[in-house]
């Protein structure tokens, strides 16, 4: 299964990310099929440079964006959907038991 996700690059305490397409089971720093853009969370305002046409192409081929990438695409108005919870809380799991 293909996955669209962020891969961290940059030096210590200075993160920047690449948006990549890769197999879900592969290491995010290993072989990638295509680099789709970059994300710099430290610049003000945050710099998001995604190739929306290529993202839509890969999604049409069955690639699933990670929760974080999915929410970023909604913010960019590239896709229309509801945001998903990127990091589940442990309180919800405790209440379910």
- The DSSP string of 14-47 is --EEEEEEEETTS-TTS--SEEEEEEESSSSS-E
- What is the CATH T-level fold of the domain 2-96, as seen in this structure? S16 Ribosomal Protein; Chain: A; (3.30.1320)
**What is the pTM for the complete model shown?**
0.81
Q: How do the domains of the chain map onto residue ranges?
A: 2-96
Q: Which two tokens stand for residue 83?
A: 């945001």
- Give per-residue pLDDT as tens, 10-56: 899 999 999 999 988 888 788 889 999 999 999 989 899 999 999 99
Q: Is the pLDDT of residue 91 over 80?
A: no
């Amino acid at each position: 299964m293909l996955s669209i996700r962020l891969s961290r690059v940059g030096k210590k305490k200075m993160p920047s990310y690449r948006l990549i397409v890769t197999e879900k089971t592969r290491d995010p720093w290993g072989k990638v099929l295509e680099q789709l853009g970059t994300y710099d969370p430290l610049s003000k305002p945050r710099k998001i440079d995604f190739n929306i046409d290529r993202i839509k192409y890969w999604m049409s081929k069955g690639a699933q964006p990670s929760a974080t990438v999915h929410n970023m695409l909604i913010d960019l108005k590239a896709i229309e959907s509801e945001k998903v919870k990127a990091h589940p809380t442990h309180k919800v799991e405790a209440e379910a038991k």
